[in-house]
Amino acid sequence: MNASVPTSVLNATHILSQVSAAWDNDLVRQLSDYIAIPAKSPMFDPDWAQHGFIDTVVRNAYDWVLAQKVAGLQVEIIRLPGRTPVLLIEVAASQGAAQNRASSPEETRATGQTVMFYGHLDKQPEFTGWRSDLGPWKPVYEDGKLYGRGGADDGYAVYAAITAIQALHSQQAAHPRIVGLIETCEESGSYDLLPYIDALKPRLGDVGLVMCLDSGAGNYDQLWLTNSLRGMASGVLKVEVLTEGVHSGDASGLVPSSFRILRHLLDRLEDSTTGRLLPEQFHCLVPPERMAQAQLTADILGAEIYKRFPWAHADCSGSSQSMLPTTTDPLQALLNRTWMPTLSVTGAEGLPDLQNAGNVLRPYTAFKLSLRLPPLVDAAQAVADLKTLLEDNAPYQAKVTFDRAAGATGWNAPSSAPWFEQAVNAASQSCFGAPCGYIGQGGTIPLMNMLSTGFPKAQMMVCGVLGPKSNAHGPNEFLHVPYAKKLTAAVAQVIAAAA
């Protein structure tokens, strides 16, 4: 793609005004309705098909897109047997677009490159700790923030993308052919996505720019592009020592504790003092370009990199009474959450709640492990290594299993083409009054690695509304609407530049 139509020819003020009005008059209401529907991802709702919530949010999005009457737009709900549905959107190139002048989607697929936008409509589960007047399925709009599960991660994407396209059409701006792919399995690792990409590849066309709207922002003051994503290896580690619980006074000291054995196994993986992952194969070198960008971002964000989290007490000022992060050095803090492997225990089984915890030596303990991997580490190999490391040579010959294992390889952004770098900086300056920032994200978006493999020459605009304290997956998740308005306008301008 070439930047034959610079964003400067667009009326940026008009675009921002139009998308802001759309957010105020329609999108906040649409997303409030979306938040109220518990469309949990299949990992968290195995009976999702019977419950119908995923189908409902997909149908609602389909109806809304169709109702916008965007010129040259076609929208379809695609269903492969036994898989979660996807929403496929196609918008023909506008008249006068430099690369695509065909009059139908079929012709534009053959004659030019395509802009592809991505989002998802499935959600994380409820979680605990919501403010007393908030809740995961209770949309609340307060001080520019729309609270509730899924609005920012990532229900807004399809609504923002279509609004951006409408803003371009209102100015009769040229743009290339556009396709949108909205899935409903992302929070479960996108295991249904690759079959859809394979099935739909002829319809996706020659993708020259990918716009993934499922990421985060370092602050709310400028456009942020994600330049890397960590991968993930996960599974359930279970240690069994008995067939049933027994009196702890009778058995303890003779029957080894399943919890202690599990803790010993984790010592093979992690230095519990520092949190460093011990096996070297889970590490990789940070590319020089990413190190340089991390330093620039550290200079912009400073201590806010770690102060933004809801610490249990105090403010990380360094006093003896303050809860401290793993490091207070901004650069190292960025690297720790983007390029360093890290282990988290995200669930437990075999442990009764405190109210019902009697004097019993329990028969088993199970932990759900989430191992975040550096962007360049192969996830499939990491899963295999993790299983061998944890299962082999079990202490006391206990029954140790690492099951329900899954992995997703991370992603390192391709080098930016001059036109793309110019376009995102121009969009950031016109919408935010500040240059574009670049930041790695600790989360995983499996699609990006798939798309980089499938479209190796495409530019990747990975961005999103998950800024400080937005708390995706946790309690009090919110969408920062003022930022979303500017991001929507920036997306419109970059699409125009791709013409």
Residue 167: exposed, middle, or buried by beta-carbon count in 10 A (0-12, 13-18, 19+)? buried
Q: Is 69 left (phi over 0), alpha (psi -120 to 50) or beta?
A: left
At 416-463, the pLDDT tens digits run 999 999 999 999 999 999 999 999 999 888 878 888 888 888 999 999
Distance CA 370, CA 43 (A): 14
Distance CA 89, CA 357 (A): 53
What are the b/e assignments for 403-439, b being 16+ CB within 10 Å?
eebebbbbbbbeebbebbeebbbbbbbbbbeeebbbb
The residues, any chain, with a CB within 8 Å of residue 85's CB and separated by 6 or more, are: 54, 55, 58, 77, 78, 79, 184
pLDDT at 102 over 50: no
pLDDT band at 305 (very low <50, low <70, confident <90, very high): very high
pLDDT band at 318 (very low <50, low <70, confident <90, very high): low
Instruction: Spell out the domains of the chain, with CATH numbers in brackets.
Output: 7-229+411-497 (3.40.630.10), 231-408 (3.30.70.360)
Q: How many degrees, rounded to 5, is the angle at CA 247 between CA 241 and CA 250? A: 90
Residue 385: exposed, middle, or buried by beta-carbon count in 10 A (0-12, 13-18, 19+)? middle
**The two structure tokens encoding residue 313:** 């007490």
Strand ranges across the sheet with 411-412: 411-412, 224-229, 437-441
pLDDT at 315 over 70: no
Residue in 117, 111, 74 with CA at minimum distance from that of residue 206: 111
At 117-156, the pLDDT tens digits run 999 999 999 999 999 999 999 999 999 999 999 999 999 9
CB contact at 8 A, 133 and 140 = yes
pLDDT band at 486 (very low <50, low <70, confident <90, very high): very high
Predicted pLDDT at 196: 95
Distance CA 48, CA 186 (A): 14
Per DSSP, helices labelled H in 47-122 are 48-51, 53-67, 105-111
> What does the pLDDT average to over 288-302?
96
Predicted pLDDT at 8: 45
Distance CA 462, CA 118 (A): 9
Task: Out of 247-251, 386-390, 442-446, pick the least confident.
Answer: 442-446
More confident residue, 218 or 499: 218
CB contact at 8 A, 73 and 158 = no
Q: Tell me the whole-structure pTM to 2 decimals.
A: 0.85
Percentage of the chain modeled with pLDDT above 70: 93
Q: How many degrees, rounded to 5, is the angle at CA 259 between CA 257 and CA 263? A: 120
Distance CA 47, CA 150 (A): 19
Predicted pLDDT at 95: 66
Distance CA 177, CA 462 (A): 19
Residue in 199, 221, 219, 156 with CA at minimum distance from that of residue 429: 221
CB contact at 8 A, 197 and 107 = no
CB contact at 8 A, 203 and 88 = yes
pLDDT at 170 over 50: yes
Residue 255: exposed, middle, or buried by beta-carbon count in 10 A (0-12, 13-18, 19+)? middle
Mean pLDDT score of the chain? 92
pLDDT at 269 over 50: yes
Residue in 377, 398, 399, 375 with CA at minimum distance from that of residue 386: 377
